[in-house]
Structure formats: C-alpha cells, structure tokens
Amino acid sequence: MHPISKDIVRQSNIDQTRISHIMSKLWMEDLLVKATVESANTACGRDFRGLIEQGSNVAFSMRGFSKAVQENNGVIDVLGPLKIICYDWIF
C-alpha cells in the first residue's frame, strides 16, 4: 500500500485560515454554476470584499475528485462520482 501523498491531503482539505467566502446557495443555469456568495469574517474575507467593493471581478475554481479519462480529442471525461471539496477564490 502506498502512503497518501501530502499533495492529495492538501488538495482534499480546506485550510480554515484561508477561507475568504461562503457559498450559501448553488445552482446550474445551462452549463454555468452560479452561487449566492458572501465574504467571510476573516482576513482573506476582508480582502475578498475589499476587491469587490473596488470594482474587481472575482472568479472561482472547483476543487474535487473523480475518476476521469482523457479522450483522443483531448477532452477529459469525468466518469464520476464527483466529490466536490470546495470552490476556491482565484486572485
């Protein structure tokens, strides 16, 4: 049995000291994931809110795990089940 990679542990856990936002509602519109988002009462959350108040756009990436295969045309097919860990703020 192989030891668990520290990188996998990092990817599958949320660092509580780096939380910037809370997504209270998620839904799909066509192929877009949309959410109701509020800033967290943390240092990262205050930075997040400040950038939005200054007119910056914010973006998120989904962090999750699933079995996947790459097709011949380069498309990655997620076979599932998909376990979503969180949506990270990209800055």
User: pLDDT tens, 24-73?
Assistant: 999 999 999 999 999 999 999 999 999 999 999 999 999 998 888 999 99
5: Cβ contacts below 8 Å, ≥ 6 apart: none
Does some domain include residue 79? yes
The structure's pTM equals 0.73
For the chain, the residue count is 91
Does some domain include residue 2? no
Does some domain include residue 49? yes
Does some domain include residue 71? yes
Does some domain include residue 47? yes
For residue 4, the model assigns a pLDDT of: 54
Q: Tell me the residue range of the domain where 69 lies.
A: 16-90
Does some domain include residue 75? yes
Does some domain include residue 10? no
The domain total for the chain is 1
